[in-house]
Amino acid sequence: MTKIQNIGILTSGGDSQGMNACIRAITRAGIANKMNVFGIYDGFNGLIDNEIKQLTYTSVSNIIQRGGTILGTSRSNRFFKKDDRQIAYNNLKS
């Protein structure tokens, strides 16, 4: 069985309480388990626009008291188009 090496965090739709705490927990747990953790900024639009950046302990420190999500969020009609989903897929592979 192949060990997971990379994980991406994407938030979409409306904000809710605890999103930053969840992002922080996933990032720290992933790093502790020797994974590369990536934040996908601006929801599904960021996935299509390649707004993907590696998260570190520093990038998620002091975020749990902030409202919303540090990654931003969006609903995307673009993701319903096959060509845009292919772009998102290619961005994830690179």
| pLDDT band at 67; cut points 50, 70, 90 | confident
Residue 35 pLDDT > 80, yes or no? Answer: yes
In total, the chain counts a number of residues equal to 94
3-state SS class at 67: coil
What is the pLDDT, as a whole number, of residue 84? 96
* Residue 68 or residue 41, greater confidence: 41
- The kind and range of the H/E element at 48 are helix 43-48
What is the pLDDT, as a whole number, of residue 57? 96
Residues 6+ apart with CB under 8 A from 81: none
Residue 75, both tokens: 């609903």
- Mean local confidence (pLDDT), 43-54: 96
- pLDDT, one tens digit per residue, over 3-14 is 889 999 999 877
Q: Identify whether the C-beta of residue 38 lies closer than 8 Å to the C-beta of residue 23.
A: no
| pLDDT band at 18; cut points 50, 70, 90 | confident
Tell me the domains of the chain and their CATH numbers.
6-93 (3.40.50.450)
